Amino acid sequence: MISGFPEAMLKHVKIVSTQVAPTVTETKVTGPMGLKLLRMTTSVAPGQKIACTLEGMAKTQVQPMVDRFLAVINKLKVIGTIDGKLMYNLYNPPTPSPAALRPFERKLRSQALGYVLPATATLSVTPQCPCKCIHCSADRFITKEGKQLSTEELADVVDQSLDLGVCTLIFTGGEPMARKDLYDQIARVDKNLAHVMIFTCGAFLNDETIRKLKDAGLGSMNVSIDSDIESEHDEFRRRPGTFAQAFGAAKLARQAEIMIGVSTYATHDNVANGRLEHLLQMARDEGFHEITIFDCVPTGKFLNRTDLRLGRKDIEQVRLLAEKYNADNQAFGVTAQAFANSPHGGGCFGAFSQFYMTCFGDINPCDFNPISFGNVRDARLGDIWKKIVTHPEFSKHRLSCRMQSTRYRSLFIDPLDLDETLPVSIDRLPGDGTILPKEPAATK
Ligand code: SF4
Ligand code: SF4
């Protein structure tokens, strides 16, 4: 029992966290009929460590779980602070905060329900984008007929995500800043419930827009940079000037006290020739807080390019790179898929702790996995999520990337036609390496 609470009591346990001082959060746990079970105070201790004190009748049961949490978190490198709270990476809420403590609630509710609940929602909010990247992962989700979610529809998806227990909301695109109501969408999120971040190509970042993002309560942003060479990046993006804009954003974001990172990807070549490490050093020297290194996953426009997958040696090298830069004492971190989504890290997050919504409302396990379990215009998010995590394939927490797995691809990706409109409904994929024909459109 992770939580330390008896099975029969789980459904009645309530957890409420409140910020009682800038760097102190108080969490109250109550049981049936409001029975007071626990009060936990989480604060920043000297040396940028987290301390927790527990009081109440459930203290003995819960203490081991809290000790395990502290042992893990206090080994992590702090890459920055937001209002005195500690940031270990750009993807998690600042600690301690009520949002950062929601994973306790998630664990408890997941146990009570019998299936896992999501912690992160990655929402594509628009198909619009000023770039035309040769490797775009979202491109095949975009059709001429599709309509992006209205302001009300998007706000409703955000609310449903928060209700499910999500504590990190990621707005992506297309280019999320192309959406006019982005600032309002960020502003309306209760930051006691979730940390908000965006993935952007940087094209619309300037003094004024960064100030507006800060005023709306944006916690962090990742700017995509594909190469350490300006002309090559702009060529990949099919948009001159994007490299300069993306790099220029670092200083502006730092001035506005928004955590900022670079997101890029490892290829066999850029690992072998040292250019990935060079980009990493450029990002650190330029004042970014973090670099995220995705594996070169065969997806989007490159869905069938399995030849681009990293080899074991490449993956090991990326892991070593992350370890090396995370071990020094500079306020700069490396989040590498080669580590995070491997058995050494958290395994595959898709359908375990996160989901992705396409710009037209389809819900997929992750942004790289082109299979839909339903559309938010037709079903409640909670029902779609339950369909994902109770599916025979997705109910299992895989310890490595499905989209790079030959087994997974032979069952769910290889059957897809090259010209198939994506995402494809899971109802057409029995999971035996075949695909069922599309239902004919209903006639009136
Ligand atoms: S910036 Fe992102 S959404 Fe736009 S084309 Fe490039 S990869 Fe696709
Ligand atoms: S399949 Fe899993 S590991 Fe691979 S990209 Fe998606 S979430 Fe990440």
* Per-residue three-class SS string for 286-350: HCCCEEEEEECCCCHHHCCCHHHCCCHHHHHHHHHHHHHHHHCCCCCEEEEHHHHCCCCCCCCCE
Question: Distance, CA 137 to ligand 1 centroid (Å)?
Answer: 7
Comparing CA positions, the residue from 177, 90, 186 lying closest to residue 130 is 177
- pTM, to two decimals: 0.95
- Distance (Å, whole) CA 190 – CA 259: 18
Residue with CA closest to ligand 1 atom 6: 133
Mean pLDDT of 385-407: 97
From 32, 45, 36, select the one nearest 95 (Cα to Cα).
45
Could you report how far apart the first and last alpha carbons of the chain are, in Å?
54
pLDDT of residue 75: 95
In terms of C-beta density within 10 A (0-12 exposed, 13-18 middle, 19 or more buried), how is residue 285 classed?
Answer: exposed
**14-21 β-sheet, strand order:** 14-21, 24-30, 36-45, 49-55
Q: Which atom of ligand 1 is nearest to the CA of 129?
A: 4
Q: For the residues 123-151, what does the mean pLDDT come to?
A: 94
Strands 120-124 and 168-172: parallel
Distances (CA, A) of 135 to 301, 304, 408, 435: 6, 12, 22, 25
Q: Calculate what percentage of the chain has a pLDDT beyond 90.
A: 88
Banded pLDDT at 2 (limits 50, 70, 90):
very low
**What is residue 443's predicted lDDT score, i.e. its pLDDT?**
53
Atom from ligand 1 closest to the CA of residue 172: 3
Taking the C-alpha atoms of residue 258 and residue 104, their distance in angstroms, rounded to an integer, is: 26
**Residues 246-263: b if buried by 16+ CB within 10 A, e if exposed:** bbbbbebbbebebbbbbb
What's residue 441's pLDDT? 63
Q: Residue 364 C-alpha to ligand 1 middle, in angstroms? A: 18
* Residue whose CA lies nearest to ligand 2 atom number 3: 401
- pLDDT for 444 equals 44
Whether 201 contacts 246, CB under 8 Å? yes
Which of 37, 51, 156, 20 has its CA nearest to residue 108? Answer: 37
If you take atom 2 of ligand 1, which residue's CA is the nearest one?
174
pLDDT surpassing 90 at residue 327: yes
**Contact 371 CB / ligand 2 (< 6 Å):** no
| Side-chain-facing half-sphere of 48: CA atoms under 13 Å | 16
Determine the angle formed by the axes of helices 275-286 and 242-255, rounding to 10 degrees: 40
Average pLDDT score, the chain: 94
Which segments of 142-186 are extended strands (E)? 168-172
Q: Say if CB 351 and CB 389 are below 8 A apart.
A: yes
Cα 158 versus chain centre, distance: 14
CA-closest residue to ligand 2 atom 5: 368
Whether pLDDT at 270 is above 90: yes
